[in-house]
Structure 1
Amino acid sequence: MAHYVDSEVSRLATVMLHRPGAELARLTPRNNDSLLFDGIPWVGRAQEEHDAFAAALRDRGVEVLYLGELLEETLAVAAAREALTGSVLDAPRLGDTLRERVAAHLADLGPRELAQVLMAGLAHEEVKPGPGRSGGLVYQLMDRLDFVIDPLPNLLFTRDSSVWVRDQVAVTSLAMPARGRETTLTQAIYTHHPRFVGTATLYQPGLEHVEGGDVLLLAPNVLAIGVGERTTPAGAERLARRVFAAGLAHTILAVPIAQERATMHLDTVCTMVDVDAVVMYPNIADTLRAYPVTAGFDGEPVVGPSRPFLDAAAEAMGIDRLRIIDTGLDPVTAEREQWDDGNNTL
């Protein structure tokens, strides 16, 4: 099956979602900060709202793929199962004795149960020691509320772990330790799932940090890459180099954004909603700038001087101007909307 994306605003054909699940129920006041959440979500309500969202997409002819189902099907492939179990067993904090115990636990699980563990984690109390099954010193010294394998509550942000540029997929390199293992799941799906076998891969985990929420396909052959809290300048440069080498774009706009939680990704301050319109956080509309990057004759990225983002984007896109729809009618409302990702739209 062919997959192709060259616009943020063309009619959506297929989307990969993750239904909120057990990984969110693992959040507590004790761990929510380290797992990048500001509070404890109401999981049942989140599932209701997600199901309504998915139904609305299907009602409009969109094919909805679920990450959990794709992962379960991927784990039926022996090479994928070996790679994904290896990724959790490689954690140095386990130690040899507990690692052997966890390996035995995972080996007993079928694809569905293993997929759940990889997403929702494995709690201390779920690895029961017994005769010949000691967890060793590491297990004994763990708090009973700790996780042997951490849950991945941020899986619901599926845009961050991969982004398509035309017919190639960039499996990203997430910056925060709590999210690093998400892309091992995504990479396994794109590598081993029958639907995606043979897909050209533009980027891989382990490279310089790039997150999908920082990549916007402004128009065919024009990308914007936010550089801030999550995507580094080195990551933007690496992705630009690869995009140019593959002939996927003629211009990339590197867009510095504040390195703050409230502006963690470019798509939290600016989202395309039409071929010539963006929803934008009004407090930055006049100050957001961009560095146009093009490919030199030898393939090296050539960086132009900084320009106002709206002007640079319109020129690269070949339009007269880029219209702005503000979120928030006053500074206080705008700030509240920004904290709630009010500029992030579909």
Structure 2
Amino acid sequence: MSAQNENFKVKVNTEIGRLRKLLIHSPDSGLGKVVPSKAQDWLFEDIVHLDTIRKGEYDYYVKLLMYFLDPEKIKGKLAHIDSEEANRAFFKPNDPQFHNSQAVVEVQNLLAEILENESIRKKLVAAVAAIEGCTYKLQLKLVDTAPQELAEIFISGTLADDTMIFAPIPNLIFTRDVGTTINKHILLNKPAKKARVRETLLMRYIFFNHPYFAEYQNNIIEIPDPTQHFLRPGEETHYRTTLEGGDVMMVSPNHVLIGCSERTSEEGANEAIKLLFEQDVVEKVTVVKIPSKRDYMHLDTVFTQVKRNTWVILNSIAHSPKYNASEPINFLKEPERLEATTAIQFNKNKPGEPKYFEHVEALLNDISQNDLGCTEPTKIIYSGNNTFPYDSREQWTDSCNLLAIKEGVVLGYDRNDKTVEAFEANGFKVVKVQDLIQDLESGQANADTLTDTLILMPSAELSRARGGFHCMSLPILRDDLS
């Protein structure tokens, strides 16, 4: 196992501070094995073309992250990295020539490193074998498998001879959902779907066993099941304690948002609030209840932050739907009325005195003005430029799921044309990642001086997986806002 990096810090206190370290997982062979009959069980809307995702889309993401977070790994070397053989090695976690960045951190590498410890390897193999119902002989075979190969098997579900022994975990590319960094703590998820149980187990072992996180083991927060939950009737469908990272946002040093959604239950949010307050992690938690629909899935699919005073959001979530009882056909609007979004804020120092927000935009304005001290008016950029039907179409392809590399510099999909127009109307430069990478390599662009920019990322295949770059990132270190 690699030696502990004494400079490896964990701290995130906003969504937009300059990004310094994050966890990602590059698309693995398991994505290329998703079949139509199982796609939705594995939480995919469609099957994807693996080579296109790897070489034509995700690789640009990794390159861009390198220029911002670890430029020594890439600047001046781009031509070599782009050569066919070097390119394959640079992006392949188990290759000796893999980039192995300590800023753009590959989950599969961390997993392989903890598996070098025989005791950990035996325990994790036994746990995975139990979850997946493996035979004891297969369990013994996996224990004797080399750590790098075993890490790949755990993720892809496939042996070196291309034999599938259990399902892949294609959602691991969405590293945000396995946990959230809250100040110097890490809140682990409790998945709502069976398809994500194995990835949660793998990440738990990484956080508790990898030397990178040794100093933070007491800061890892796990969500328990309710006491004697196994005695409750209907446990499979009711009273489940679930929480996923896409529903958790660290918006200011003392304030966390938690979404109640298709994936995070009220019970999960409640347990998280109690633990965050008990351990003095934050002072405020605001719960935002969004419709429990596949269209939305997580809080970060309906809004994300761009700057202190700028947010991108789906308009129908921003304001509760209007309901007019005097209309003759008002009963048709009743289901819509029931999907109204609500936001309630709890303060550790004022128990029993929750604060209610009229709508989500009021909450975002309160964060910008009061938590982050903005003197400028809060700006809202709407998905699809708030134009039907592009608002819903582009939210479906993650127009609201943006990753801020630094304040005002965000990554989004190139297919969301109307949302791009809305960014331009709000004074943002728009640049294709292919062009920006060339400019960063040549010195015509500078990562430190780039401001107010929407970086467009190729998305033909990635968008089929239903998740943007906010989903595909688990920030573990950001700078404080000045």
TM-score range, shorter chain: 0.7 to 0.9
- Measure the CA separation in 1 of the matches of 2:352 and 2:18: 31
- Measure the CA separation in 2 of the matches of 1:178 and 1:185: 13
- Measure the CA separation in 1 of the matches of 2:312 and 2:42: 28
SS in 2 for 1:112: helix
Establish whether residue 334 from structure 1 lines up as the match of residue 394 from structure 2.
no
Specify whether residues 26 and 56 from structure 1 end up closer, same or farther in structure 2 by C-alpha distance, changes over 3 A only: same
The one-letter code of the counterpart of 2:394 is E
Contact 1:219 1:275 in 2 (8 A): no
- Measure the CA separation in 2 of the matches of 1:261 and 1:26: 23
Unaligned runs of 5+ in 1: 128-146
For 2:447, the equivalent position in structure 1 comes to none
Match for 1:16 among 23, 26, 32? Answer: 23
Specify whether residues 82 and 204 from structure 1 end up closer, same or farther in structure 2 by C-alpha distance, changes over 3 A only: farther
- Measure the CA separation in 2 of the matches of 1:171 and 1:61: 24
| Offset of residue 79 of structure 1 | 3.5
| Offset of residue 283 of structure 1 | 2.0
Establish whether residue 113 from structure 1 lines up as the match of residue 149 from structure 2.
yes
| Offset of residue 244 of structure 1 | 1.2
The one-letter code of the counterpart of 1:16 is L
What's the TM-score, normalizing by structure 1?
0.86
Matches within 5 A, 1:56-71: 56-62=64-70, 63-71=103-111
For 1:137, the equivalent position in structure 2 comes to none
- Measure the CA separation in 1 of the matches of 2:367 and 2:104: 32
For 2:221, the equivalent position in structure 1 comes to 203
| Offset of residue 2 of structure 1 | 2.1
Specify whether residues 187 and 205 from structure 1 end up closer, same or farther in structure 2 by C-alpha distance, changes over 3 A only: farther
| Offset of residue 107 of structure 1 | 2.0
SS in 2 for 1:39: coil
Which stretch of the first structure deviates more once superposed, 160-169 or 326-335? 326-335
SS in 1 for 2:295: helix
For 1:133, the equivalent position in structure 2 comes to none
Match for 1:312 among 346, 355, 363? Answer: 363
| Offset of residue 175 of structure 1 | 0.7
Establish whether residue 100 from structure 1 lines up as the match of residue 136 from structure 2.
yes
Equivalenced residue count is 320
For 1:224, the equivalent position in structure 2 comes to 257
Which stretch of the first structure deviates more once superposed, 240-249 or 98-107? 98-107
Contact 2:158 2:165 in 1 (8 A): yes
Matches within 5 A, 1:1-346: 1-48=8-55, 49-62=57-70, 63-91=103-131, 94=133, 99-122=135-158, 148-199=165-216, 200-204=218-222, 207=225, 208-287=241-320, 288-295=341-348, 303-305=354-356, 307-315=358-366, 318=370, 319=373, 322-329=378-385, 330-346=387-403
- Alpha-carbon deviations, 1:133-180, whole Å to 9, x = none? xxxxxxxxxxxxxx5422100000000001100101111111111111
- Alpha-carbon deviations, 1:175-201, whole Å to 9, x = none? 111111111111111111111113134
Specify whether residues 243 and 322 from structure 1 end up closer, same or farther in structure 2 by C-alpha distance, changes over 3 A only: farther
SS in 2 for 1:263: coil
- Measure the CA separation in 1 of the matches of 2:187 and 2:176: 11
Which stretch of the first structure deviates more once superposed, 184-193 or 319-328? 319-328
SS in 2 for 1:53: helix
| Offset of residue 126 of structure 1 | 6.7
- Measure the CA separation in 2 of the matches of 1:75 and 1:290: 43
Contact 1:171 1:201 in 2 (8 A): no
Contact 1:295 1:301 in 2 (8 A): no
SS in 1 for 2:389: helix
For 1:134, the equivalent position in structure 2 comes to none
Aligned-CA RMSD value: 2.1
The one-letter code of the counterpart of 1:344 is N
The one-letter code of the counterpart of 1:272 is Q
What's the TM-score, normalizing by structure 2?
0.63
| Offset of residue 71 of structure 1 | 0.8
- Measure the CA separation in 1 of the matches of 2:120 and 2:264: 28
Higher relative contact order (CA 8 A, sep 6+): 2
- Measure the CA separation in 1 of the matches of 2:194 and 2:352: 29
Contact 1:17 1:158 in 2 (8 A): yes
- Measure the CA separation in 1 of the matches of 2:357 and 2:380: 20
Specify whether residues 54 and 301 from structure 1 end up closer, same or farther in structure 2 by C-alpha distance, changes over 3 A only: farther
Contact 2:189 2:223 in 1 (8 A): yes
Contact 2:314 2:383 in 1 (8 A): yes
Contact 2:317 2:360 in 1 (8 A): no
The one-letter code of the counterpart of 2:147 is P
- Measure the CA separation in 2 of the matches of 1:9 and 1:148: 41
| Offset of residue 206 of structure 1 | 5.5
- Measure the CA separation in 1 of the matches of 2:303 and 2:392: 14
- Measure the CA separation in 2 of the matches of 1:293 and 1:170: 18
- Measure the CA separation in 1 of the matches of 2:318 and 2:189: 27
| Offset of residue 334 of structure 1 | 0.8
Of all paired residues, the percent bearing the same amino acid is 28
Q: Which runs of 4+ in 1 moved over 4 A?
A: none
Unaligned runs of 5+ in 2: 1-7, 71-102, 226-240, 321-340, 404-482
SS in 2 for 1:35: coil
For 1:130, the equivalent position in structure 2 comes to none
- Measure the CA separation in 2 of the matches of 1:205 and 1:81: 24
The one-letter code of the counterpart of 1:164 is T
